[in-house]
Amino acid sequence: MILICDNNLNIFCTAQTRVFERWLEIWFFVELIIPRLKISSLTVCKQHFNAAMHSTINVHLTIFLAMIQFLGICFAMSLPVLLLPEQILCQSPQRSTNTFKTAYNNALSAKNLRAMKTALDSIIAYDGDDADARRQRLVLSWELGEWTHLDEDYTALIMRDSSNGEAWERRGVVRWYGGKVQSACEDMRHASRYSQRFQHFTQTLCDSVFSTSAVIRTTSRTASRITMSALDSAILQEINLMRSNPKNYIPIAEEEFIHNAPILAPREGMMVLRELVQTLINSPNLTPLQTALPLRLAAFDHAEDLAAHTQYGHRGTDGSLPHTRLERYTFYRKMLGENIGYGIKSARTLVVGLLLDDGVQGRGHRGNLLNPRNRSIGIATAEHPMYPCVCVQMFEEALYPHP
């Protein structure tokens, strides 16, 4: 293939290759490549033809077999030429990589994230050792919510530099999101040699014992952090029901208000319901929210903290705020919002109460529930000393891998 694209044969590397030129390429393959492999197609044909000339029996059969063998060799040698695109055939790997890098730069100028990732996929296909391309693809994978290559790219970076603690911990986090508990904890333990950033993650989530056989045994407390309760799942279902068609949710909210008005709107009463109805009328249909493990864990930590210390509000007893709690479990985040609701153990009552947002300036809770840019959610509930339950909801624009 390289011989065809030699400088002396550039005539065959035009964009519009005709059929006649293709057969000339086949001829050059047969005459230039085969002799280097010590297999001459002409010699093979001559041998068969000589045998045919000196034989008085089955002359026509011998000629037929010789031609079949000759055509078979020609077809086998020409197959790459016929199948490969002209631009790939007439470029060296370096030139092809440069072509894709140019495509990447053009997509970057146009801010076309999908085209950027496609170009990076092609660059890595040509050169799997291009660490810069892998790092850039990791960033775009998170941005686009495509997880296909995450594990592969982090593994490639680890193979390139085994002391890359960041790659170890990030692969561990991704594997945990994907439900690979044992390999995740092993990665996090290995990463702790180089970085203590996710020490909280390792201690609280792995919360495990490495026996002599290196088998990890997770505790029931760890399982409760990961698994949503029935009430948590019902709240998620109610939120997505409302987001799927806000206008159709109006009668549901009105009925709930009628039954629980003293609990839902003790300050503003009917006025806040009218305001909510108008908001729902003007709201478009929204995409459902996906559960995300890091959001769930951060919400779980704060719900437990509020319940254990009879606290209220978004600041934890350790001084933490929503973004600092989330950073314990992830290295990637965008815009973050947090809702906290107190009340009876009813998913619908909790959701309608946050939508009404009675007495809250700016209606921030309602804004989080109806924000079209939010794509992920984490929900956790706990029994509160002053109320039947406290519900913490964390919203994110970013998507996260899930099992």
Strand 290-291 and strand 389-396: the pairing is unpaired
pLDDT tens digits, residue range 256-282? 999 999 989 999 999 999 999 999 999
Q: What's the pLDDT band for 145 if we cut at 50, 70, 90?
A: confident
The secondary element (H helix, E strand) that includes residue 234 is helix 230-244
pTM for this predicted structure: 0.67
- The phi, psi pair for 338, rounded to 5°, reads -135, 130
Q: Are 312 and 301 in contact (CB under 8 A)?
A: no
pLDDT tens digits, residue range 64-94? 555 666 666 555 555 444 444 444 444 445 5
Q: How far, in Å, are 165, 179, 197, 242 from residue 203 at the CA level?
A: 17, 17, 12, 37
pLDDT tens digits, residue range 32-65? 554 544 444 445 444 544 554 455 445 555 555 5
Q: Are 368 and 393 in contact (CB under 8 A)?
A: yes
Q: Are 187 and 169 in contact (CB under 8 A)?
A: yes
Q: How far, in Å, are 75, 288, 382, 389 from residue 310 at the CA level?
A: 80, 32, 11, 11
3-state percent helix, strand, coil for the chain, nearest multiple of 5 = 60, 10, 30
- CB atoms closer than 10 angstroms to residue 340: 19
The end-to-end CA distance of the chain, in Å, is 44
Give the DSSP per-residue string, 180-224: -HHHHHHHHHHHTTT--TTHHHIIIII-EEE-TT--EEE-HHHHH
For residues 386 and 204, which has the higher predicted lDDT (pLDDT)? Answer: 386
β-pair partners for 393: 339, 379
**Average pLDDT score, the chain:** 77
Q: What is the pLDDT of residue 69?
A: 61
Q: What is the pLDDT of residue 32?
A: 52
pLDDT tens digits, residue range 280-296? 999 999 999 999 888 99
For residues 230 and 402, which has the higher predicted lDDT (pLDDT)? Answer: 230
- The phi, psi pair for 217, rounded to 5°, reads -115, 105
